[in-house]
Structure 1
Amino acid sequence: MKICIYGAGAIGGWVGGLLARAGADVTLIARGPHLAAMREKGLKVVSETESFTTRPACTDDPAEAGPQDVVIVTLKAPSVPAQVPRMAPLLGPDTAVVTAANGVPWWYFHGVEGPWRDRRLETVDPGNVQWDGIGPHRAIGAVLWPACEIEAPGVILHRSGDRLPLGEPDGSRSERVTALSKLLIAAGIKAPVRPNIRNEIWVKLWGNLSFNPISALTTATLAQMAEDPDTRAVVTNMMAEARAIGEKLDVRFPMSIEDRIESARKVGAHKTSMLQDLETGRQMEIDAIVGAVAELGRIVGVPTPTIDTVLGLVRQRARIAGCYGD
């Protein structure tokens, strides 16, 4: 199985490093000093329990890699549409594309029965670039739970987590998703095949939707947001609106709102990815995480007054900081 990691930064580098160590035929698409360092010295992965270096194929030109069996896209959601034309050389007739970005995936309504079958989401796929350029038939869903960062060019620091559940949009245990699951598990990644990957997507989205934008507006950590009564009330309202949307879409939430907030509080003085992006001037994943949920609310007829208010504020905050849109 030929696998390409498209966007081999922190998380993608961790996945690619583990696959390479396990002997998989993996190619990393990266750029800049990180790519140069991997070419010169290899890719180093460091965790609390181990440190190892591998030398997978690395390039910034997808045409060098050629058609793949699986492309795992680990770019942030706002970056993906512009990269779709560059992905074309990787896509053979049967290539699967694993979407691992935060938020609602562009293929969300593919393979579902009912009135919203194959509905497109403008917030995450403006102009249907991914739907038309990649194709929903290629999509495999995934949720990346690990926390990683690029400690230095060519060096990935794995802080925590090793879960990467997978799932076909139609819920089937297809040959392709089963084979990929086995390969990732052999590499040391917990990658079970879920019969409803959308449920897993919502578990992570539920927290990201609320804590991420509020942290960008307040600069508060997870613990500070969960422990402050005023902020906690806003988080609770956003989660309640999101749960109402999810339940309209037949999503099952495995815990209460209070338990979900408490799990975030226990993480402690952690800055969300959206706040980190704001502080470092990187593009923020606002539309995939917050805007898409508001769009889903409009589709299923669930009002989202709190989500809409926070969405408008965080978009303005990001625009002023140069971290949103063009």
Structure 2
Amino acid sequence: MVQVAIVGPGGVGGLVGALLVRAGHDVVFVARPETAARLNAGGIEVHSVRYGDFTVPARAVALLDAPADLCVIATKATTLQDALERVPAGGAELILPLLNGVDHMEVLRGRYPSARVVAGSIRVESTRTAPGRISHTSDFCLVQLAGDGAASISEWLSGAGLDVTVRDGVAELLWDKLSLLAPLALITTVARASVGQAREMRRDDLVDMVSEVTAVARANGCQIDAETILGVIDQIPAPMKSSMLRDAEAGRPLELDAIGGAVLRAGAALGIPTPATARVVAELGS
């Protein structure tokens, strides 16, 4: 049995945490006081096309008060700093961020120097419909890991039913995800449309952004090309909405800096022009 802290029991953290509880691990959820109270009272209820419908008891706290073997950080980038105030230094041996973007790795390694921060990415369609209520609508839950400690985390997550791959390079893993996520999130949100509509309405912007982001990704060691990413986006079911678009529709803060801003900063540092991405980011930020 592993002691696990889940920071941010939303669509991703709630699902991962509930699966770990069901697998027999000692899991504590770290959340705002009102959310913690709801979880303690009602547990976590999961409705999943893959894992079925199940409910697990949830132990939740507003501040992590005991060391954990693993701390999974699954917040939005926009709430990361607030969430980290709930996790004191020395609170975990291993830290696994399942966050969008690339810049959070440096933040976490600076804040938790005694911990091993393992790079991670997750591909899943999972949404928190209410505190402690998770709707998992994809038949997949794919996790990729890289870094010292990845093998142990892979064993724990695989045992809970997730599909896990361990990769060699941290930067390659993070940019592999961002090369798809950035153009997809930005184009759907700027068009305020599902992926099928957005890739037709703003096709030229999409093609240009894919070209720019993949150029930056390759400069960071990711073996990916624009044609491949564009092909993946073109195969995504037309009704799908990105999480950034859902945030925009709900009036929530956007992860614009973590996703689009990360591309612009890396491009500037490497001398790679990113005019289309900059234009869309500016349009969304206005």
Normalising to structure 2: TM-score of the pair? Answer: 0.91
The answer to whether 1:249 aligns with 2:251 is: no
| More deviation, 53-62/21-30 | 53-62
Match of 2:20 in 1: 19
Match of 2:278 in 1: 308
CA contact 2:42–2:58 (8 Å) conserved in 1: no
Q: CA RMSD in A?
A: 2.0
Q: Which of 145, 150, 166 is the equivalent residue of 1:166?
A: 145
1:58 and 1:225 map into 2 onto residues whose CA distance is 39
1:84 and 1:284 map into 2 onto residues whose CA distance is 19
CA contact 1:16–1:26 (8 Å) conserved in 2: yes
Match of 1:6 in 2: 7
Q: Which of 212, 222, 230 is the equivalent residue of 1:261?
A: 230
> Against the structure 1 CA distance between its residues 67 and 149, is the aligned structure 2 distance closer, same or farther, given a 3 Å change threshold?
same
2:89 and 2:231 map into 1 onto residues whose CA distance is 45
Superposed CA offset, 1:225-246 (max 9, x none): 2234xx1111111111112212
Match of 2:252 in 1: 282
CA contact 1:62–1:90 (8 Å) conserved in 2: no
Q: Which of 99, 113, 121 is the equivalent residue of 1:101?
A: 99
1:249 and 1:263 map into 2 onto residues whose CA distance is 21
Identity of aligned residues (%): 27
Aligned length: 282
1:89: how far off? 5.6
Q: Which of 191, 200, 206 is the equivalent residue of 1:235?
A: 206
2:150 and 2:172 map into 1 onto residues whose CA distance is 17
1:34: how far off? 4.3
1:151: how far off? 2.6
Q: Which of 51, 54, 62 is the equivalent residue of 1:52?
A: 54
Task: Give the secondary-structure state (helix, strand or coil) at the position aligned to 2:9.
Answer: coil
Task: Give the secondary-structure state (helix, strand or coil) at the position aligned to 1:252.
Answer: coil
1:90: how far off? 5.6
Superposed CA offset, 1:215-266 (max 9, x none): 22221210112234xx11111111111122122222111xx43442343333
CA contact 1:290–1:307 (8 Å) conserved in 2: yes
1:91: how far off? 2.0
What code does the residue aligned with 2:232 have?
S
Task: Give the secondary-structure state (helix, strand or coil) at the position aligned to 1:166.
Answer: strand
CA contact 1:104–1:293 (8 Å) conserved in 2: no
1:184: how far off? 0.6
1:105: how far off? 3.6
Normalising to structure 1: TM-score of the pair? Answer: 0.80
1:131: how far off? 4.3
Structure having the larger proportion of residues in strand: 2
What code does the residue aligned with 1:208 have?
L
Match of 1:324 in 2: none
2:226 and 2:10 map into 1 onto residues whose CA distance is 32
1:61 and 1:85 map into 2 onto residues whose CA distance is 8
1:32 and 1:137 map into 2 onto residues whose CA distance is 26
The answer to whether 1:88 aligns with 2:88 is: yes
Q: Which of 156, 165, 190 is the equivalent residue of 1:217?
A: 190
1:208: how far off? 2.1
> Against the structure 1 CA distance between its residues 43 and 136, is the aligned structure 2 distance closer, same or farther, given a 3 Å change threshold?
same
2:100 and 2:182 map into 1 onto residues whose CA distance is 10
1:292 and 1:101 map into 2 onto residues whose CA distance is 13
1:15: how far off? 0.2
Kindly report which structure 2 residues correspond to 1:147-162, keeping only aligned pairs within 5 A, or say none: 147-160=125-138, 161-162=140-141
Task: Give the secondary-structure state (helix, strand or coil) at the position aligned to 2:99.
Answer: coil
